[in-house]
Amino acid sequence: MSEGALVLFSGGQDSTTCLAWALERFATVETVGFDYRQRHAVELECRAPVRQALGGMNPAWARRLGADHLLDLSVLGRISDTALTSGAEITLTQAGLPSTFVPGRNILFFTLAAAIAYRRGLRHIVGGMCETDFSGYPDCRDDTVKALQATLNLGMDARFVLHTPLMWIDKAATWRLAEELGGGALADLIRDATHSCYLGDRSHRHDWGYGCGTCPACALRAAGYRRYRAP
Ligand code: ZN
């Protein structure tokens, strides 16, 4: 409990749940976000209000919530040609991967997060990667994260612990985890204030939150919410 954590915090459902999870466990919790010119850059605008709301929800969380870091990763948008960083159609590529896959993204995210954690003296790094119910991204796999932990610790002569609390649970269980951590208030905050839609749509409101309602991120979020709310 005396140790510090850095949470990869995008402003989405998964990373907000991870942030609450970390606030419950660590004495100091800082956050890092990345602007890689994502099509749904609106998620970045959700970060500050969500952080503020989490602090307002629980006095202990407010005490533990530390600095926020926002890194400009526009280079990632420039070197990748994906449906998440351009107007390209969201489909399956010839390699059998979703066209929203941004090669190297999570590897870069963890590497830069570790560089910040090194400077800030934070031992734990938390990310919302998930293998269950996931989008088919190879850099969300448990093996990728475990290999990265070994690489970062060797390469920085450090003892970072990479945590992925959502790795083996599905989207419905992610909603339930949020409710366990912060009650219905946290589940409601995540529904109303976090962003998942790949198209960046915050003009259409559904029972599961804002989004276009049809992209893969919306479909996953909607299906998970319905299973979570089902009797
Ligand atoms: Zn959508």
Number of domains in the chain: 1
The CA distance from 224 to 209, in Å, is 12
Q: What CATH number does residue 150 fall under?
A: 3.40.50.620
Between the CA of 1 and the centroid of ligand 1 the distance, in Å, is 37
Between the CA of 25 and the centroid of ligand 1 the distance, in Å, is 32
* pLDDT tens per residue, range 70-121: 999 888 877 777 766 767 677 777 777 777 777 888 999 999 999 999 999 9
Closest CA to 19 of 141, 182, 229, 145: 182
* pLDDT tens per residue, range 133-183: 666 788 889 999 999 999 999 999 999 999 999 999 999 999 999 999 999
The CA distance from 37 to 71, in Å, is 11
Between the CA of 200 and the centroid of ligand 1 the distance, in Å, is 7
Between the CA of 123 and the centroid of ligand 1 the distance, in Å, is 35
0.95 cut: is pTM over it? Answer: no
Both tokens of 2, joined, read: 């005396």
Between the CA of 194 and the centroid of ligand 1 the distance, in Å, is 13
Between the CA of 97 and the centroid of ligand 1 the distance, in Å, is 18
Between the CA of 190 and the centroid of ligand 1 the distance, in Å, is 16
| Residues of the domain holding 221 | 4-229
Q: Is 80 exposed, middle or buried (0-12, 13-18, 19+ CB in 10 A)?
A: middle
